[in-house]
Amino acid sequence: MTALTIAVVARRVGFLYRLATVGEPAPERIEYARANIGAELKAQLVEVFGQKKLLKWTPSGIAHFFVMWAFFILLTVYVEAYGAMIQGAITGRPDFHIPLIGRWPVLGFLQDFIALAALLGLVAFAVIRIRNAPSKLGRDSRFSGSHLGGAWLILFMIFNIIWSLFLFRAAAINTGNFPYESGAFVSELVARILPTSSLLEEIALLLHIGLMLVFAVIVVNSKHLHIFTAPLNVLFSRRPDGLGAAQEMRSGGKVLDFEEADPETDVFGRGKIEETSWKGFLDFYTCTECGRCQSQCPAWNTDKPLSPKMLILDQRDHAFAVAPYLLMSEEQRAHAGQDVLALLEKPLVGEQGVIHPDVLWSCTNCGACVEQCPVDIEHIDHILDMRRYQVMIESAFPSEAGVMLKNLENKGNPWGMPEMKRAEWIEELDFEVEIVDEKMPEDTEYLFWVGCAGALEDRAKKTTKAVAELLHIAGVKFAVLGPMEACTGDPARRLGMEFLFNMLAQQNIETLNEAGVKKIVATCPHCFNTLANEYPQLGGHFEVVHHTQLLSHLVDTGKLTPITPIEEKITYHDPCFLGRHNKVYSQPRDIMAKVPGVTTQEMHRHKDRGFCCGAGGARMWMEERIGKRINTERVDEALTTDPDTVSTACPFCLVMLGDAINEKKTTGKAKETLEVVDVAQLLIKSIKG
């Protein structure tokens, strides 16, 4: 049975390996893991063995922690079981024990304890699944769309393994073949109700091993394959996580050079399943279908068709469906029937494709899915790859986004406004702001990256002026690029137009380098993320801070002192690209905490579980026609705190939340005095009085 099981499992593993390596190479993953062994070892200890991400959800996390550790610790029981079987066959006395530690009572206790804890974990899993059954909760269930039957089968098989383990050990105690004189407290209790029987011991031993072998075959053919692939997926995932920078476009394992790229021979994004990298296939294999990503997704929570979980599962199911044909030789494919060719040619994205376009374009790139995934699946990378193919090869994307792309290409900003308007906000200040001519002025510490919204959108300009005043008061010397500043390219990249992003980024990098810029402060988290995390991909290396980070430091060092009380109840909205993507949570809150009179009230979803405003992923320039508007959902949540003011630290959030609040005011559901402000506006109000 063991030999047969090993053969079946090995055959399945070989198939999975061959299928994954049909995809695009990803040498950068291996190179990074090899070069950062320390970080990868820490990730294994923290995420795999420590279950850090799973324990964010305490009840299910604790249950999983014990079940997972049962797999490791109970390996010693199988060493004992096989040893007893072999020794019994040879000597007639199946009283085998592991050399050196095999009679240590602590090991016997640990084996029984972890098996009992795993059994209780199974009960917890069953309760959680029954309480959250899709039949009861529909879309609100995080298990909606998961393969429910397979999950119950696995729970049933683990249960069988545990009770048969106690049966085998208890029978061995009664026959005197058990290695431990004490410690195995559960087995000893079971032994009291069992008869002394060598036959029972032999049957229980073979039954326990047989159930384990059947379980092994089921695992490699089910979603519980993650037992083996999760450590690999964590090993080859991006550090510190799959957030922050978007990945560069690659073809054949190399970064795509747009000056030499040929759509006929190079891979532009992902149009077919075989254009997925092997890391993408590893994501497919590793998905546990837990639905944590789905439960946190702003699109799914506002009745849109995007479920990050189903995005992965639909690709996985398609990959398995076409696997026999992907693994065919060219000669075999030449003789394949039309049905086979039709399956192979099925588009990855399309009305009749694997992924519906509405699924793809619902994503805001907020990162909630990546943040919550306990096995480091990188959903945004999958979405961006598919978007790139749709935009650059198929030219299939929402029409209003096309206007934005044209404006970026022709005017350097999404609104298509003249470049000279970028400096108009300066005229509204009562002090001089240096505009970079060719070189940064002497003794200037920071370049203030104003951003398109900060320079051109009326509400965002208030933040820009507040930050400029605060820096002036604090004595921080800064300058702006004015008309020389162009969009960082974030909307283009997040839409999938990588070529335009490259063009804008290289232009900005050249401008910044020629001006001698070293340090940048940005008010827009999207600009901040792009400048800090994505420009280094193209050779642009700068020290970049968000304005809340700099202002918090200036308050802490006494260069800015809020004096005038602001007697308001304020709730803070975490911008996704500041919070989840860059882990800046404390500084905006620290600023508000220093303003006298302010009372803060957190929304239910905040910090790493914060809810998107709906503007990311280039959605700022796309109509939201399906389900409830994301910004409306977020404002509804903010209103439950009964705030006087909603604060944030992003111009996009400022606009999106402001629009939703204005809509609420027209229906009488929000106070007429309620407004959305940047934390910088609160600070300047308190300082100036």
- Averaged pLDDT of the chain: 94
Output the six-digit token pair for 95. 């009283």
What's residue 331's pLDDT?
Answer: 77
**pLDDT above 90 for 456:** yes
Give residue 330's pLDDT: 77
Residue 616's closest CA among 637, 635, 630? 630
The per-residue pLDDT for 343 is 77
Provide the pLDDT for residue 465: 97
Nearest residue to 389 via CA among 540, 498, 546: 498
Q: What is the DSSP letter of 349?
A: B
| Alpha carbons 2 and 210: distance in angstroms, whole number | 8
Q: pLDDT tens for residues 50-62?
A: 999 899 888 899 9
CB within 8 Å of 340: residues ≥ 6 apart:
325, 333
Instruction: Give per-residue burial for 386-402: e unless 16+ CB within 10 Å, then b.
Output: bbbbbbbeeeebbeebe
**HSE (CB half, 13 Å, CA atoms) of 2?**
9
Please report the pLDDT score of residue 459 as a whole number: 94
Residue 102's pLDDT is what?
A: 82
Q: What is the pLDDT of residues 537-551, one digit of tens each?
A: 999 999 999 999 999
What pLDDT is stored for residue 689 in this prediction? 77
| Cβ neighbours of 136 (radius 10 Å) | 10
Model confidence at 221: pLDDT above 90: yes
Q: Classify burial at 623, counting beta carbons within 10 Å of its beta carbon; exposed 0-12, middle 13-18, buried 19 or more.
A: exposed
DSSP line for 599-655: EE---SS-GGG----S-TTTGGGS---SSS-HHHHHHHHHHTT--SEEEES-HHHHH
pLDDT at 460: 97
CA separation for the pair 534, 645 (Å, rounded) = 33
- How far, in Å, CA of 104 to CA of 363, rounded? 55
The number of beta carbons lying within 10 Å of the beta carbon of residue 215 is 18
- 251 pLDDT band (50/70/90 cuts)? very high
Residues 89-140 have pLDDT tens digits of: 888 788 888 888 888 999 999 999 999 999 999 999 999 999 999 999 999 9
Neighbours of 376 (CB within 10 A): 24
Domain residue ranges of the chain, discontinuous segments joined by +? 49-235, 244-396, 407-550, 556-688
Query: Rounded to an integer, what distance in angstroms lies between the CA atom of residue 210 and that of residue 204?
Result: 10
Q: How confident is the model at residue 499 (pLDDT cuts 50, 70, 90)?
A: very high
Highest mean pLDDT among 80-89, 328-337, 545-554: 545-554
Instruction: Indicate the pTM of the whole model.
Output: 0.93
Say if domain 407-550 classifies as CATH 1.10.1200: no
For range 199-218, the mean pLDDT: 94
Mean pLDDT (whole number) for 584-609: 97
Distance CA 428, CA 319 (A): 58
Confidence of residue 21 (pLDDT cuts 50, 70, 90): very high
What does the pLDDT read at residue 518? Answer: 96
The answer to whether residue 188 scores a pLDDT higher than 90 is: yes
Q: How far apart are CA 679 and CA 391, in angstroms?
A: 36
Residue ranges of the alpha helices (H) in 37-74?
37-43, 58-73
Residue 344 binned pLDDT confidence (cut-offs 50, 70, 90): confident
Confidence check: pLDDT of 337 > 80: no
pLDDT value at 511 more than 90:
yes
Write out the CATH class of domain 556-688: alpha beta
Residue (of 477, 457, 475, 519) closest to 678 by Cα position: 457
| 244-396 under CATH 1.10.3470, yes or no | no
Q: Which residues fall within 8 angstroms of residue 601, CB to CB, at 6 or more apart?
A: 569, 570, 571, 641, 642, 643
What values do phi and psi take at 494, rounded to 5?
Answer: -70, -25
Mean pLDDT of 648-676: 95
The answer to whether residues 168 and 160 touch, using CB atoms and an 8 Å cutoff, is no
CA distance 371 to 240: 11
pLDDT at 342 over 80: no
pLDDT at position 12 is 97
Tokens 């964590």 locate to: 234
The predicted pLDDT at position 325 comes to: 87
Q: pLDDT tens digit string along 347-398?
A: 999 999 999 999 999 999 999 999 999 999 999 999 999 999 999 999 999 9
